[in-house]
Structure 1
Amino acid sequence: MSAEMPKPREFTGKHMLVSILAFFTVVIGVNVTMATLAQTSWTGLVVENTYVASQQFNEEAKKGRAQAALGWKGKLTVASGEVRYSLVDSQGKPVPLRGVKVLFRHPAYEAEDEALTLAAVAGGAGSADAFAVRHTPRNGVWIVEIDADAGLASPFRDVRRVMISNGALQ
């Protein structure tokens, strides 16, 4: 009886070529994917010109201290498809507003930023106690920048970081 022994498989030049091509295809594919994701995501740019921003810092800090001295508190509500904002003074009385603008900024993606102009919902004689707009922000973390015109030299500025879940402020 003669038993034929199977010929052992050899690692040939073709196998080496396929291995090298597969390796570099994976490496190049990952690099292209990462470069594309980096190009389409947040740039990291906070201000256009850091020198100019640094020169304006003291003036902005002075405005912030003057605003804090007023003792006013803003109330932001996001629920039932509506964004609402009102302002009260240090005694809890409503501050009449002329206009309110709200910017929902996504911390990582500028493309998702949403600017809103709120409309008066109560009050009379050209001013209102509260402003609102029909809008449902997407779920996630947002930086909300509110500029409320209360008749001061510059708008009352209210900036806060909020979490939206199921269309409501958490």
Structure 2
Amino acid sequence: MTTQTPPVREIKGWHVFAGFAVAFGIIITVNLTLAFNAVRTFPGLEVKNSYVASQSFDVDRTAQLALGWDVSATLEGKVLSLFIMQDGTAIAPQITEATFGRATHVGQDESPVFSFDGTALRADVAGGAGNWNLRLKAIADDGTPFQQRVIVRAVR
């Protein structure tokens, strides 16, 4: 008994072209989708004029570091706790601006209203699971401006 081999199909030029066209079409579609979503979800500029902001950066940073503040934040359930320590003591500087939100988009941003309880500044927020940041601007008692992006640690 002889076995019959199936006929071999010849690969023609249009087969190769179609393969390349499909492969590059998928790559280009994915790249355009990712680029569109990156631009669509970009929250915007950090400063209006980077040159003007850069002129006082070193002076502002030196003054801020001289405060000696140790800043951290935690999220436990729906309670955001902001710990600002100076020389091992909890302090409550004047918060001029605070934005609690996702690291990647501004869709869930909120402005918490903090109250000091002797150990931390606390505020009720919507929160939830995931990566959260607190963009903080405050003023020290001596008038020194302070700003920092604080990564919020979730407490379970």
TM-score range, shorter chain: 0.5 to 0.7
Change (3 A) 1:22 1:169: same
How far did 1:77 drift?
Answer: 1.8
Equivalent position to 1:30, from 27, 31, 44: 27
Q: Taking structure 1 as reference, are residues 29 and 49 closer, same or farther at Cα in structure 2, changes over 3 Å only?
A: same
Quick one: distance in 2 between partners of 1:116 and 1:47? 16
- Uncovered stretches (5+) of structure 1, i.e. residues with no partner: 124-128
Q: Secondary structure at the match of 2:111?
A: strand
Instruction: Give the counterpart of 1:130 among 105, 121, 126.
Output: 121
115, 122, 134: which one aligns with 1:121: 115
Q: Quick one: which of 47, 50, 73 aligns to 2:70?
A: 73
Cα distance in 2 for residues equivalent to 1:67 and 1:148: 10
* Partner residue in 2 for 1:158: 148
Query: Which of 48, 54, 57 is 1:57 aligned to?
Result: 54
Larger Rg: 1
Name the TM-score, length of structure 2 as normaliser: 0.64
1:118: Cα distance to partner? 1.8
Using the size of structure 1 for normalisation, the TM-score is 0.60
Contact 1:163–1:169, Cα closer than 8 Å, also in 2? no
Counterpart for residue 126 of structure 1: none
Deviation at 1:59, TM superposition (A): 0.8
The change in CA–CA distance for 1:158 and 1:113 in structure 2 (over 3 A counts) is farther
Identity of matched residues, %: 14
Partner of 1:145: 135
Provide the C-alpha distance between the structure 2 equivalents of 1:86 and 1:4, rounded to a whole number of angstroms.
84
Q: Structure 1 residues 148, 6: CA separation in 2 closer, same or farther (over 3 Å shift)? A: same
**Greater RCO (Cα-Cα under 8 Å, separation 6 or more):** 2
In 2 relative to 1, CA 22–131 (structure 1 residues): closer, same or farther, beyond 3 Å? same
Whether 2:11 is the aligned partner of 1:9: answer no
Determine the C-alpha separation between the residues in 2 that align with 1:96 and 1:60: 21
Separation in structure 2 between the aligned mates of residue 104 and residue 83 of structure 1, nearest angstrom: 11
Distance 2:89 2:46 in 1: 40
Matched residue count: 152
One-letter amino acid matched to 1:38: A
